[in-house]
Amino acid sequence: MATKLTELLGIKYPILQGAMAWISDATLAAAVANAGGGGIISTGGRTTEYVREEIRRCRTLTTKPFGVNVMLMAPNKEEIVEVICEKKAAFVTLGAGNPVPYFEKFHVAGVKVIPVVPNLKLARRVEDKGADAMVIEGMEAGGHIGVLTTMALMTQILPEVKIPTVAAGGFADGRGLAAALIMGAAGVQMGTRFLVAEECPVHPNMKEKLIEAIDTDTIVTGLTIGGAVRGLKNKFSQEFVKLEYAGKTDKETLLNMATGTNKLAAVDGDVENGMMQAGQSLTPLKKSEPAIDIIENIMAEARETLKQGSQINI
């Protein structure tokens, strides 16, 4: 399936794998790349040497293009950017900060630049400054979220920009991919869907919780303190929200409570006291299976959905 995104990145299918902190490593990125998608290594919370090694390791696992994500709030972001340019990843996604100052450096190194943006104003700005593509991510996504839904972002941004635009937030199946393509997106990004891939290193306890989850099982923490994060309901997230909305706990205390809880769930497997970051589209996560099966099933469903859509009498 050819779109502006597949042509830009040299990938087979218009699916990017989300960069999930402590989770999206070389093994997962390579598995997605080998399956025809755009695999992405996450650098959130990681050392510069880790990033260097994961890029090297990914190249031993795939000959396909893959990307690296940079969290622009990271204290070592400058060093990570240098490593990505040195190792010449095919593309980079950028979030949690101002991506524009890094465009030229990446372009000189031959790395395609794909910022993650939460609104039309920033979408226009990154396009004007030379981004190769962009990801527009709605609040249905897992992890740190904005205030607009994916549908609202697609409705308002897609008609206004010309560069390839990837929709993210709530996508987990082929019907969603088809809908995004019909609206004018060049592809979709999925994070939560790949948490149950066999190649995903997230702790088995968290995989089990995701497969058991129902559609109403996510919760947003930190909304009142300027750091909204979506994840599964559990002891930690529900107690956090209770304290947050009671209004008796200061912002610093709440932030300290949340620090390290993503790793606690994803790496250590503490699914009661850790924050299990995940998006709202949970019921398609029925079993753990190889990334290639996930992607092939999504593409088969997308083709069938598009075929059915073409038969609507207009």
Phi-psi domain of 143 (left: phi exceeds 0; alpha: psi -120 through 50; beta: other): left
CATH number of the CATH domain containing 77? 3.20.20.70
If asked whether residues 71 and 188 sit together in one domain, one would say yes
If asked whether residues 236 and 152 sit together in one domain, one would say no
If asked whether residues 101 and 227 sit together in one domain, one would say no
The answer as to whether 72 is a domain residue is yes
Q: Which pLDDT belongs to residue 309? A: 79
Specify the number of domains making up the chain.
2
Contact 115, 99 (CB under 8 A): yes
Give the range of the structural domain holding residue 112, as residue numbers without chain letter.
4-200+284-308
Those residues with Cβ within 8 angstroms of residue 22's Cβ, 6 or more apart along the chain or in another chain: 42, 44, 45, 262, 263, 266, 267
CA separation, residue 256 to residues 214, 233, 250 (Å): 29, 19, 10
Residue 311: exposed, middle, or buried by beta-carbon count in 10 A (0-12, 13-18, 19+)? exposed
If asked whether residues 150 and 292 sit together in one domain, one would say yes
The answer as to whether 175 is a domain residue is yes
Which regions of the chain are under pLDDT 70? none
If asked whether residues 97 and 154 sit together in one domain, one would say yes
CA dist., res. 112 & res. 132, Å (int):
6
What is the enclosing helix (H) or strand (E) of 168?
Answer: strand 165-168
Rounded to a whole number of angstroms, the distance between the first and last alpha carbons of the chain is 25
The answer as to whether 205 is a domain residue is no
The answer as to whether 150 is a domain residue is yes
If asked whether residues 218 and 253 sit together in one domain, one would say yes
The answer as to whether 24 is a domain residue is yes
If asked whether residues 193 and 225 sit together in one domain, one would say no
Task: Find where tokens 């031959």 sit.
Answer: 110
The answer as to whether 183 is a domain residue is yes
Query: 66 — phi, psi (to 5°)?
Result: -145, 165
Q: Which pLDDT belongs to residue 110? A: 97
Six token digits for residue 228: 């909204």
Handedness of CA 197, 200, 204, 209 (dihedral sign): negative
Six token digits for residue 146: 């904005």
Cα angle at 246 between 241 and 247, to 5 degrees?
Answer: 105
Six token digits for residue 266: 């994803």
If asked whether residues 40 and 165 sit together in one domain, one would say yes
If asked whether residues 106 and 248 sit together in one domain, one would say no
Q: Which pLDDT belongs to residue 198? A: 98
The answer as to whether 313 is a domain residue is no
CA separation, residue 180 to residues 60, 171, 293 (Å): 33, 9, 21
If asked whether residues 225 and 131 sit together in one domain, one would say no
If asked whether residues 154 and 64 sit together in one domain, one would say yes
CA dist., res. 283 & res. 217, Å (int):
10
Task: Find where tokens 């066999």 sit.
Answer: 198
The answer as to whether 275 is a domain residue is no
If asked whether residues 188 and 240 sit together in one domain, one would say no
Instruction: Indicate the pTM of the whole model.
Output: 0.94
